[in-house]
Structure 1
Amino acid sequence: MTIGIDLTLDCADATLLAGFWRTALGYVDEPPPAPFRTREEWLAQFDLPEDDSANGGAWLCDPAGVGPRLSILEVPEPKSAKNRLHIDIRVPGHGGTAERWARIRAEAARLVAAGAVVLAEFDGHHVVMADPEGNEFCVAAGPGGG
């Protein structure tokens, strides 16, 4: 039996980060769990502090239902160190090293336009990047990307 996972990113601005990761991954806003119509209704069932609301987070999912869900939650403390776990964005397609590297660099450029920054390039293999709040991730060829 396998266990499913969700990924959670702590942040200062959930709206900003959710917008970036929607663009980066092609994800959509996840609807609230049934039978709730809104996130506010869902959160009301928990004994949360008064200042805790759905406005402090975003919940994204793969529209095809394949990738892990992504929760983006606002926290008061700033990011203080390098991520110990990071996301790898895998660029699909086949071809030789030059073709694969061109696809990786094109994807990195698309993500820079969406608000990411390039931290390092490992020529022909992958690009290390950071999202708008400094969370590191990599862009590399996908499985079978030959």
Structure 2
Amino acid sequence: MALGFQVTFDAANPGKLAEFWALALGYQVQPPPEGFDSWEAFAESAGIPRERWGDYSAVVDPDGNGPRLFFHRVPEGKTAKNRVHLDVNASLPDLHTERGWQRVLEHVRTLTEAGASTIREVNEPGGRCMVMRDPEGNEFCVQ
């Protein structure tokens, strides 16, 4: 039996990074647990110190299909290239077509406006993508 999983990101600003990835993936920032109108209300009821309330955030697939992405504050900044990265499939269902590539470029523009940066274009026989960095420097690809 397969096990569920989440992808965890170290972050300087978990809330801001969660908002970026919600936009990048068509996800939503995870709502607070049932019975709470905000994460702050939940944190207060759980006894989490006020200075730690912004230390965590998450995004979820609104359809419930994709994995949860979890963001937690860490004191150190990013220092090296990612060993794992996400591929955002903006070109589907038109993968490997000009129409699909135009979808990629549109999504790259949207993400750049939201704080991402473009590193380079990769165009190889096996595929084409844009390599990018999110607002905190984590590499990812848009294909």
Is the partner of 1:133 in helix, strand or coil? coil
Alpha-carbon distance, 1:42 to partner = 6.1
Bigger shift: 97-106 or 29-38? 29-38
C-alpha contact 2:44 2:50 (8 A) present in aligned 1 = no
Count the aligned residue pairs.
138
Q: Tell me the TM-score normalized by structure 2.
A: 0.82
Counterpart residue number, 2:110: 110
Describe the superposition over 1:36-82 as per-residue Cα deviations: whole angstroms up to 9, x where unpaired: 76545468658x7x576231111111110011001111110111111
State how far apart, in whole Å, the 1-side matches of 2:95 and 2:121 are.
20
1:60 aligns with 2:59: yes
State how far apart, in whole Å, the 1-side matches of 2:69 and 2:24 are.
12
**1:35-114 to 2 correspondences below 5 Å:** 39=39, 41=42, 50=49, 53-91=52-90, 92-94=92-94, 97-114=97-114
Alpha-carbon distance, 1:107 to partner = 1.4
**Gaps spanning 5+ residues in structure 1: where?**
141-146
State how far apart, in whole Å, the 2-side matches of 1:95 and 1:133 are.
28
Q: Which of 128, 138, 143 is the matching residue for 2:141?
A: 138
